[in-house]
Amino acid sequence: MSLSLGEIVIRLVVAAALGAAIGLEREPAGRGVGLRTHSIVALGAAVFTLAGAYGFADARPSGDVDPARVAAQVAAGVGFIGAGAILRHGSSVQGVTTAATVWLAAGVGVMASAGGELVATVATVIAMVSLLLLRST
């Protein structure tokens, strides 16, 4: 089964918008994780899901090889890199959006390498729009 480009774009935009909606609640309280971060994390999750579900159609899975597992391993592993970008100073937390963008970049890389260059490009454009337009200060 494959999805049309329109369906993929809709899914990515909805994921980013719903993530932003969740983050919207966090903004007025001055939380370290707000609109942009939630939007980027939701978008990254959508990209990893699309990569895992549809991105390896040209690979031949066998009994001991499942290329879709790559997406899951990258998603988990890159968390360690992102964690290094997060700094806490008293009650202030910095670097969470940076960590989210690192995580998303990994998802985009997986998607592009799995043959989903267009999906990766759309996700990148949505991320850039989120990062630029949802800036709180």
**pLDDT (tens digit per residue) in 13-31:** 999 998 888 777 666 666 5
- pTM score of the predicted model: 0.68
Please, what sign has the CA dihedral across residues 19, 4, 108, 106?
positive
Given pLDDT bands bounded at 50, 70 and 90, which one contains residue 53? Answer: confident
On the CB side of 42, CA atoms within 13 Å amount to 22
